[in-house]
Amino acid sequence: MRNLRFVAIIALILISAPLFAQPPQSVVIEGRREPQDCAYNMGSFYYLPFDVPPGVTKLTIERDMSIEPPGGLGLCTYLFDARGIGFPYNGFRGCQEWQTDPIVITADKATTTRQFYHGPIQPGRWHIAQHFRWKSKDLERIRYKYTITFSFDGPRLDSMPEVPYDPIIRNEPGWYTVDLHTHTIHSDGQGTLDEVAAFHASAGYDAMVNTDHNVMTAQFDFPEVAARYPNMLFLAGEEISTLSGHANVIGAKPGGWYDPRMIPGDGRLPKLIEKVHREGALFSVNHPFAKAPMGWAFPPEEWTNADSMEIFQGGWFGADDRQAADLWDSLLKSGKRITGVGGTDTHAKTANLKVLTWVWAENLSREAIVDGIRKGHVFISYQKSGPLPYISVPGTSALPGDTVRIGNQESVPVQVRVVGGKDMTLRLVWQDGETKIPIDRTFARIEYSVPVKASLSRSYVRLEVQRADGVVFALTNPIYFER
């Protein structure tokens, strides 16, 4: 028996690691960039190829960067494996903004650098992609040196890992509260996924979408973190962050990637949106009037298939939210159906979270929440306690996002309920007009007949709940009218 045990131990050692591993090997890539190589857009990528030999189990990239003379520099380092550098996505393995500490890739999540994807280290041609964002007029040149070390003595994986997480948390229809815009330490957030989940759970959210900038590596922690918060749904996403604007992918397959390497007019954005839709997710334009580079600069014809637009972010206290809502209204008036959504855009470990996107869904699952947003079954409130706005058309079961056939009617009765809006103002908006009605009680019921001119083949009605100074505390998506 003792001999059998000894044989079993030896067999395990042989399976888990080679007895005589090769010694590490290193290669060095060095050179320089001139000021003309740097541009403040997503088109200025420079690819440095290197060859990975067979049998590598750990890849380490050490960086030595110098700027002559010192000046402001934005440096982003991307890494692509042997699957290629094509758009939109072939062999992306991660990216870091600003950091210059070593990059480590292994088959193990725990030993791989946070913003990079663990998994197999395929032999063949890999690329370091440099993205320099030049900001200093005094910059003369940038010198770089990469020391790449290949190790052969670690664990192996044959394929890229997946995230086994796609549950139904609650199997009943209703309004579910979602935060569609959150960040962790995997991009520029301050908290781990666990910490961000903790304060969302304590704030009463039913679901949160992880949308780190240009990486989705936090989502490999979904199963572990979800076990601690079994009543909350985690959705995978990414904030596609270009230097011409940001957009969220919502409801993606955890641990994927959506390529930000595009500039207005290059034709890449429509291809990216097609990919998002093929994979069953949503494409949502973020804070379109934020300060550059976060404001949206892509021409409308390139994002005509966008599913939603962020019009309410972290509290309605700047002009950019009003501008976003007005842009949204102009799209609605032109006949485009695009869902208005909100998000906290939280980067903190803990905070007094504001802004909830309420989604009517058949259950609390990724598929149902995505379907509810796609259909426009959405309203937004500044806080969970209210004001909460509900709009309906008597005699129908229409929710925001639905269409009511009105035949030859020249007006449509609507019923509004507002919970928690006392002393605020109800603003009803439709195709060619609006009205404002004071709210004089905590639980208000208001009926109004919305005019629809005989010359209009379609219209809509939506509502906002405003403070006296015009700050919006809640709004709904439209109910649409068609003859």
Query: Could you give the CA distance from residue 373 to residue 20 in angstroms, rounded to a whole number?
Result: 55
Cβ contact 211:370 at 8 Å: no
CATH number at residue 117: 2.60.120.380
From 151, 172, 200, the end of a domain falls on 151
**Pairing between strand 73-80 and 141-151?**
unpaired
CA 278 to chain centre: 17
pLDDT per position as a tens digit, 434-446: 999 999 999 999 9
What is the average per-residue pLDDT within 136-155? 85
Do 230 and 286 lie in one domain? The reply is yes
What is the average per-residue pLDDT within 214-239? 98
pLDDT per position as a tens digit, 73-129: 578 899 999 999 999 878 999 999 877 789 999 999 999 999 999 999 999 999 999
Query: Could you give the CA distance from residue 429 to residue 192 in angstroms, rounded to a whole number?
Result: 41
From 123, 151, 179, the end of a domain falls on 151
From 384, 413, 435, the end of a domain falls on 384
- Residue 323 burial by Cβ neighbours in a 10 Å radius (0-12, 13-18, 19+): middle
Do 273 and 219 lie in one domain? The reply is yes
Element (H, E) at 413: strand 411-419
CATH number at residue 442: 2.60.40.10
Do 374 and 418 lie in one domain? The reply is no
pLDDT per position as a tens digit, 305-337: 999 999 999 888 778 999 999 999 999 999 999
Structural domain including 467 reads 387-483
What is the average per-residue pLDDT within 141-163? 94
Return the pLDDT at 319: 85
Do 414 and 345 lie in one domain? The reply is no
In our burial notation (b when 16+ CB lie closer than 10 A, e otherwise), range 375-398 reads bbbbbbbbbeebbbbbbbbeeeeb
Do 32 and 132 lie in one domain? The reply is yes
pLDDT at 67 > cutoff 80: no
pLDDT per position as a tens digit, 253-311: 999 999 999 999 999 999 999 999 999 999 999 999 998 889 999 999 999 999 999 99
Do 269 and 373 lie in one domain? The reply is yes
Confidence class for position 139, pLDDT limits 50, 70, 90: low
pLDDT at 16 > cutoff 50: no
Q: Give me the amino acid identity at 216.
A: M
Is residue 269 in a domain?
Answer: yes
